[in-house]
């Protein structure tokens, strides 16, 4: 069946939020957007998990969305992170993103307060009713502490404004069930699972590794789309150690920011309670980047 969110197929990069001396580094953020336009990235997603949204003030959160939309200027799609564990706050942020010119809102499942499945349904319905903007559900129970079940996602997906799911459960069964029971587009929320999800009928990825090698992540997706499974597998295995360390050395986005610093693309600064990698972890990361051919 045709899928609702295919305008967001391909590579979306989960943007880091650059900091300098504790503040948002606006010029670095604008350069990042330009880099992704030049790299052929399909879409950027500011202020998600990788963008350290939990440590941004509401004013900063809005400012990052504004800067990214302004710099994108229609050259690249913007899927702004607007989720919250407060439904009213999520509505307010989503309305702001629409006014700023975002193409979609990426809305994480409410965290900490652990709604029932009915609570998830009504939360997303309320946002989708309030703001006429394409909505991408973001299901990451490892962070939110509660899974939005496949049946619930299918029900939420009956709303015309809900078009896709960023699938970060790590469960191929859950992804299969969503694909079988709804017309939602599925985007991988884990770089190392992009190829398996594409093989099930997924359409792309919201990528952390794409901050560093957007062209290579695109190559994997393109190879798969063109029916060249062997090339897609080769890209998967080339990217795999990088993806593993981006998400395995420490909590995202600590390693990706460290990698960007080593490559001269970011200060590497993270905000408390995030802390930098230790010397041993940096040595491991350097090895990975060298093996990849980046250092």
Alpha-carbon distance 163 to 161, whole Å?
6
| Residue 226 per-residue DSSP state | T
Of 248, 249, 238, which Cα lies nearest the Cα of 215? 238
- What does the pLDDT look like over 149-195, one tens digit per residue? 999 999 999 999 999 999 999 999 999 999 999 999 999 999 999 99
Q: Is 9 left (phi over 0), alpha (psi -120 to 50) or beta?
A: beta
Classified as helix, coil or strand, 138 is: strand
Alpha-carbon distance 134 to 219, whole Å?
26
pLDDT at 50: 97
Instruction: Supply 29's token pair.
Output: 């953020």
pTM: 0.98
Alpha-carbon distance 218 to 116, whole Å?
37
User: b/e per residue, 175-209, with b = 16+ CB within 10 A?
Assistant: bebbbeebebbbbbbbbbbbbebbebebbbbbbbb
Query: Residues 4, 124, 138, 146: which is the catalytic one?
Result: 138
Q: Is the pLDDT of residue 115 over 80?
A: yes
Q: Using N-to-C axis directions, what is the helix angle for 117-130 and 87-100, rounded to 10°?
A: 30
What is the four-CA torsion angle of 110, 116, 122, 128, rounded to 10 degrees? 30
Radius of gyration of the chain (CA): 18
Query: Residues 77, 98, 146, 166: which is the catalytic one?
Result: 166
pLDDT at 247: 86
Helix (H), strand (E), coil (C) string for 81-108: ECCCCCHHHHHHHHHHHHHHCCCEEEEE
The question of whether 166 is a catalytic residue gets the answer yes
Domains of the chain: 6-229 (3.20.20.70)
Classified as helix, coil or strand, 204 is: strand
The question of whether 138 is a catalytic residue gets the answer yes
- What does the pLDDT look like over 188-215, one tens digit per residue? 999 999 999 999 999 999 999 999 999 9
Q: Which residue has the tokens 């709303």?
A: 159
Q: Which carries the bigger pLDDT value, residue 23 or residue 2?
A: 23
Give every CB contact of residue 10 below 8 A, 6+ residues apart in sequence.
Answer: 42, 43, 203, 204, 218, 221
Give every CB contact of residue 50 below 8 A, 6+ residues apart in sequence.
Answer: 14, 15, 16, 208, 211, 252, 253, 256
What is the share, in percent, of the chain residues with pLDDT greater than 90?
Answer: 98
């Amino acid at each position: 069946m045709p899928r609702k969110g295919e305008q967001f197929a391909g590579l979306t990069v989960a943007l880091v939020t650059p900091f300098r001396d504790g503040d948002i580094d606006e010029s670095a953020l604008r350069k990042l957007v330009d880099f992704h336009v030049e790299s052929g990235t399909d879409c950027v997603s500011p202020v998600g998990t990788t963008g350290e949204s939990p440590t941004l003030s509401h004013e900063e959160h809005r400012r990052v969305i504004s800067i990214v939309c302004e710099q994108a200027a229609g050259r690249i799609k913007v899927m702004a992170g607007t989720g919250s564990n407060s439904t009213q706050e999520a509505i307010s942020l989503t309305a702001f993103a629409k006014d700023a010119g975002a193409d979609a809102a990426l809305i994480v499942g409410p965290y900490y307060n652990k709604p029932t499945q009915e609570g998830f349904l009504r939360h997303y319905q309320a946002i989708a009713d309030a703001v006429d903007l394409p909505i991408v559900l973001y299901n990451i129970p490892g962070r939110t502490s509660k899974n939005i079940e496949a049946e619930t996602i299918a029900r939420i997906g009956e709303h015309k404004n809900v078009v896709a799911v960023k699938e970060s459960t790590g469960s191929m069964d859950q992804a299969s069930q969503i694909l079988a029971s709804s017309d939602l587009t599925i985007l991988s929320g884990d770089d190392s699972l992009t190829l398996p999800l594409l093989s099930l009928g997924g359409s792309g990825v919201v990528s952390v590794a794409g901050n560093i090698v957007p062209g290579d992540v695109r190559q994997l997706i393109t190879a798969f789309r063109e029916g060249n499974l062997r090339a897609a597998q080769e890209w998967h295995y080339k990217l795999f150690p990088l993806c593993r360390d981006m998400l395995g050395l420490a909590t995202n986005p600590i390693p990706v920011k460290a990698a960007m610093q080593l490559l001269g693309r970011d200060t590497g600064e993270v905000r408390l309670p995030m802390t930098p990698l230790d010397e041993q972890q940096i040595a491991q990361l350097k090895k990975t980047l060298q093996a990849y051919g980046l250092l």
